[in-house]
Every structure is written in structure tokens, then in C-alpha cells.
Amino acid sequence: NTASLFPSVYTGNVALQYQLPLLAGSGTEFTRIAGPIGQQFGGLTGVSQGVVIARINNDIAIADFEAAVRNLTKDVEDTYWDLYLAYRNFHTAVTARDAALGTWRTAQIQLEAGTRTRAEVAQARDQLFAAEAAVENSRSSIYSSEIRLRRLMGMAVNDGATLRPADEPVTAELVPDWYASLTEALSHRVELRRQKWSIRSLCLQLKAARSLTRPRLDALGGYQVNGFGDHLFANTDADVAGTPHGLNDFYETITQGDETGWNLGLQMSMPFGFRSAHAQVRNYEIRLAKAEKVLQEQEREISHELAIAFQELARSYSTAQKNLNRLLAARENVKYLEPNVREGDKLLDDLLRAQARQAEAEVAYYQSLVDYNKALVALEFRKGVLLEHNNIFLAEGGWLPEAYDHANRQGEARAHAWPNEMLEAQPAPFAYDGPTGGVYHAADEAIVEPLSEAPPEEVAAPPEAPAPPE
């Protein structure tokens, strides 16, 4: 009895334990997926604490970041064209204001000459004031669009510079191929890539969960060095009890290694019915089935979004053509009315209405032209190539030198190896050769060819709109 030999003692040991799962949780793949089976993670449950799942979660986070960058790029492009349209509307309003001012001055002179009535002069003055109000509204629209663009680009609201679009909108007709566009969308959309990573993660977790439905059988081994002493530190081994082993110094006894022990054996445990393990497997099976169904619906939704983008592209270009013809007709109407009104042969109301229609036609033309360019952006967005179209690429940072050497060795080993036809990948690869279901190409006989009609002559671009006054 140590209490009868020493009033107080120090005890301790240094132990090395080894535990190898043989059934449930066995294999390096389980550890890479779920983490060590014997490790206790506080507050964490499930089989998702392994390094492979962590890497997949990192890839999912990268996909989310790419989607955010893509959405920001689309918003910047749309706002850019909104700012371009605001400048065009301002230019149109200024032109209409100058035309209304000239008409009012002509009417005033004709009133003094007795060829016009005061009612006609008042009507001209009314349209002049309306045109001036339109100029103020269009100037305010420029400022609002510029602030929205600055907010998206992270710029200060007022830095002494004025943002003015430098590129003109595209006026050429684009007729994309449906099959190629659908293939690009199903291959490049980041939403599909993210969902496939989620399916891959659930497949691995399901495999790890099924491993836990087997009994727990572990091979155990251990070695232990014990320590005992009357004092923690002492100068001599002789103790007050006069024992032959010299138990005066605790650290002296543990470093000598005379008191050792070891164990070797098997440990088995098996819960009755494996209810918790089977419930976990069922949970992952349901989550996996849901994720695969979500992938199918995403592919179907992408095909619908792409079809809408095609329709919007055709509609906006056709509308731009019609509004261009409308603008040409309105300009021709004003051109032939002005001499007649100047000579007093026509009513002033005809010219005022023609000038208003010309301004409306010009605004409608540039609105439809901007809609066409936004439809081009939407098409690239739905195809998943918007970032590539704008020369925006995401890349990872450099790896450790050891990682490159390891990848090089594995690549050389695969290059000089014979393919084994008996191998089976479990779970299946996350990248499929085609869509998982629900999205099919239309039959050739169902394709309706567009009508071939020559586009109308395009009018020359109006001169640059003056910058808004400070």
C-alpha cells in the first residue's frame, strides 16, 4: 500500500496506442471521407469531416465565387448600356429642344408678318417648354445611371471625372446555333458544376455511412512506461521507506523504463439492429436522390432560359429594324414639312407633331438597339461563357513544390500503365457524358427556318451627344 509508505506520491505514464478498424470505418478511403473513426469532434456529426469532403467544399465555394463574379459582370454590362441609352436620350432631347426653339422663332416671325395666329405660336411655345423639361429629365437620368455604374464598379460617387461609354452598340445580326449553344450551356454553367460537386460529396458520404452499418472490430496494440515517486524532482533515488527500487524521484523512475506494460488484442462491439447507422444511410440516400433530381431540373431550366434568350435576341433585333425604318420615315416627314411650314403653306401643328414623332422614333430606336445588346449579354450569360467573353479568368495560386513532384510522378505512372478493364470506380465519376435527363435536342424536322428578308438600310449614327453641363 503506497499510502502506508509515503504520505504523498506522484504517478504517471507515457503510453503509445495503436487502433486499426477492420470492419466498420476500415480503409484509408473512409478516413479521407469521414475522418478518423475514433476521433471525437465536438459538436460535429455525420461522415463529412475528411480531407476529400473539405476539398470538395472548397471547390463548391470557388463555384459560388465564380457565380458572384459572373452576376456582377452582367450587372456592369447592363448598367453600361443603360448609361449609353441615357446619353442618347439626352442627345435626342437636346435636338428636339433646338428644333422646337427654331419652330417657335419661325412662328413668331410669321405672326408679326400676319401669316400665323397667336394660337399657333402658343402651341409652338408649349412644345418648346415640354422639350426643355425632357432635357432636364434626361440629364438627371444620366447622373442616376452613372451613380449605379460607379456603385457596381466600386468607384467614388464623385471623383472629378465623368463616365462616358466609349463603345457603340452592336448592330450586326447574330444568329446562334441552338445545338452548339445548348451544349455550351450544359458544359459551362457554374450552377451545374456546383451541383455535380454536391452530388459527388453525397456519394462519398453515402459510401462512408454504409461502412458504419457493419460491426465494429478493431485491432488494438499499446505500449506503456509507468512512473512513480515520492517527490516530483529529487537529487537521490533513496526514499524515506527504504525501498530497493529507489522510488524517491518520479522522473527518475519514468526515464529508467523499468516499469513497462503492453497490450495486444481485438475489440468488437455491435449495437443491436444498427438503427442509427441505417437511419444515417437512409438520410444520405434521400439527400442524394434529391440532389440528382435538382440537377435534372437545373438542366431543364437552363434549356428554357436559353430558349427565352434566343427569343429575346430575335425580338430585339426585329424591333430595332422596325424602329430604324420608323426613324427614317419620321426624319423624311420633318424634312419635307419644314419648307412648307416656312412658306406658310402648311399648318404649324403638322410640323410640331412630326418633330415630336421624330424624337419618339429616335428614342425607340436606341432603346431597341440597347435591348438587342443586352440580349447578347443575356445569351452569353445563359450559355455560361460570359466571363470568357469578357476575358475574365479565375485561377488558383501556386502549390507547394512537393505537390508538383507528386503529381508528376502519378502522371508518369498513369502514362506508362496498362488500363485495367476489371476496375470499377465507386462512386461513379461526377462528370457525365451528357445531360442526366429531361433535356433533349429537337428533331431536325421540327426546326423552323427563319424567313430570309433583306434588312433595311441602316441610318448613320447621329453625332455624339454633348456632355451634360456641370
Whole-number CA gyration radius for the chain: 40
Given a cut of 70, whether residue 467 has pLDDT beyond it is no
Q: Which helix (H) or strand (E) holds 91?
A: helix 51-113
Please give the pLDDT value at position 6.
Answer: 67
Give tens-digit pLDDT for 411-447.
Answer: 888 788 777 777 776 656 555 555 555 555 454 544 4
Given a cut of 50, whether residue 470 has pLDDT beyond it is no
Give tens-digit pLDDT for 109-163.
Answer: 888 887 778 888 898 899 999 999 999 999 999 999 999 999 999 999 888 888 9
What is the C-alpha to C-alpha distance for residues 190 and 184, in angstroms, rounded to an integer?
Answer: 11
Q: What is the mean pLDDT of the chain?
A: 84
Class of domain 47-215+292-396+427-446: mainly alpha
Please give the pLDDT value at position 185.
Answer: 95
Q: Single out the residue of 33, 36, 39, 35 nearest to residue 53, CA to CA.
A: 33
Please give the pLDDT value at position 455.
Answer: 45
pTM assigned to the model: 0.77
Mean predicted confidence (pLDDT) in 284-305: 95
Is 5 exposed, middle or buried, given 0-12, 13-18 or 19+ CB atoms closer than 10 A?
A: middle
pLDDT band of residue 44 (cuts 50, 70, 90) is very low
Give tens-digit pLDDT for 204-225.
Answer: 999 999 998 999 898 999 999 8
SS3 265: strand
Please give the pLDDT value at position 188.
Answer: 93
Query: Cell for 193?
Result: 458544376
> In the chain, what are the domain boundaries?
47-215+292-396+427-446
What is the C-alpha to C-alpha distance for residues 281 and 210, in angstroms, rounded to an integer?
Answer: 6
Give tens-digit pLDDT for 230-259.
Answer: 677 776 666 666 666 667 677 777 777 777
Give tens-digit pLDDT for 338-365.
Answer: 888 777 766 788 888 899 999 999 999 9
Is 247 exposed, middle or buried, given 0-12, 13-18 or 19+ CB atoms closer than 10 A?
A: buried
Q: What DSSP letter does each residue of 283-351 carry, written as one string?
A: HHHHHHHHHHHHHHHHHHHHHHHHHHHHHHHHHHHHHHHHHHHHHHHHHHHHHHHHHHHHHT-S-HHHH
Please give the pLDDT value at position 164.
Answer: 93
Is 460 exposed, middle or buried, given 0-12, 13-18 or 19+ CB atoms closer than 10 A?
A: exposed
Contact 15, 223 (CB under 8 A): yes
Given a cut of 50, whether residue 468 has pLDDT beyond it is no
Mean predicted confidence (pLDDT) in 166-175: 93
Proportion of the chain in helix, strand, coil states, percent, rounded to 5: 60, 10, 35
Given a cut of 70, whether residue 38 has pLDDT beyond it is no
